[in-house]
Amino acid sequence: MKPQHLLILGGTGFVGSHLLPRLVRDGHRITVLTRYRVAHRGLALLPGVRVIDADVYDADVLAHELRDIDAAINLVGILNERGRSGRGFQKAHVELTQALIAACKKVGVKRLLQMSALNAGRGDSFYLQTRGAAETAIRQSDLDWTIFRPSIIFGRGDGLFHRFADLLKIAPVLPLARANARFAPVYVGDICEAFARSLLTPESVGQTYELGGPQILSLREIVRYTALLIRRKRFVIGLPEILGKLQGRVFDFVPGKPFSSDNYKSLLLDSVPEHDGLAALGIIPTPMQNIMPALLRGENKQARLDRYRKT
């Protein structure tokens, strides 16, 4: 298929910062909508990328920017909200998706790629429930949609390994709620490849791809691996359920919300794919050992080459 003109919501975030260069490689022209363009002017240095200020929650604004667009990509998502009502999740996940669907229909854009999450629609967390509601809205539309459901994502600038690395540098003991919750950490580069290939694959229309990496690890194992990479000897303590739930409630009131009661509810479900969406798209998943040591240890180029050869 020929290169397309794409509109991306959430293109300035973690996944977006990796996805844009990947899509540029395929020759796509890209318009990124953001609330504060000045903070992300560097993205406009990518060939064919235009970054503009816009209220992405306004369907009329979206419809205006969707003119001359071949496909829309929605990467917007939040892990926590202000307060505990679920209103923030509802706005970011459901209302935004509904506005985007309405705008696409208004101007005749048929193709929509949506970032979601494993376990969307399951459990009691606002995060997962609103992810599921957004998926329902998409499936009930008449758009040519594709939905991606990743497990936790790792890579340069992630909020997983890098956040734990920062905590482990200052905390000799790290208490964990739901320490035995299981994940299949997936490389951000593989997720970007899944989006890129889906744009060029008509068979991806109407498909939901569960995306996970080649290893299944508990939260405790992920934190211990992080400590190993940054060369810190730390005690990782799994909290009993009652204390883990209490930890979430206490952190609801901590500025920046590094953890929350809603996060705790999400952790009650293992984040492991039942179906291999990467394989369905012909993508070989990247092991953490190929990526994270260089990022957290700051290995030089020769050390990385030596480790790749050994792997």
- Interval 65-78: pLDDT, tens: 999 999 999 999 99
Q: What range defines the domain where residue 140 resides?
A: 5-153+187-212+273-286
Cα–Cα–Cα angle for 209, 26, 47, nearest 5°?
Answer: 125
Q: Residue 27's domain is classified under what CATH number? A: 3.40.50.720
Say whether pLDDT at 309 is over 70. no
- Can you tell me the mean pLDDT for 99-114? 97
Cα–Cα–Cα angle for 48, 54, 59, nearest 5°?
Answer: 110
Count CB neighbours of 101 within 10 A. Answer: 25
> What is the pTM for the complete model shown?
0.93
Residue 167 lies in a domain: no
In 94-179, where does DSSP find H-type helix?
96-107, 126-139, 161-170
The percentage of the chain sitting over the pLDDT mark of 70, rounded to a whole number, equals 96
Q: Each residue of 248-294: pLDDT tens digit?
A: 999 999 888 889 999 999 999 999 999 999 999 999 999 999 999 99
| 91, 57 Cβ separation under 8 angstroms | yes
- Judged by average pLDDT, the poorest of 152-161, 166-175, 182-191, 301-310 is 301-310
The span from the CA of 204 to the CA of 261, in Å, is 35
| 202, 146 Cβ separation under 8 angstroms | no
Residue 178 lies in a domain: no
Residue 203 lies in a domain: yes
- Can you tell me the mean pLDDT for 77-98? 96
Residue 19 lies in a domain: yes
The span from the CA of 161 to the CA of 272, in Å, is 18
Say whether pLDDT at 300 is over 90. no
What SS3 state is found at 191?
helix
Residue 293 lies in a domain: no
pLDDT band, residue 297 (cuts 50/70/90): confident
Q: Each residue of 171-208: pLDDT tens digit?
A: 999 999 999 999 999 999 999 999 999 999 999 999 99
Number of domains making up the chain: 1
The span from the CA of 214 to the CA of 1, in Å, is 30
Token pair 């300035």 in the structure block, residue: 12
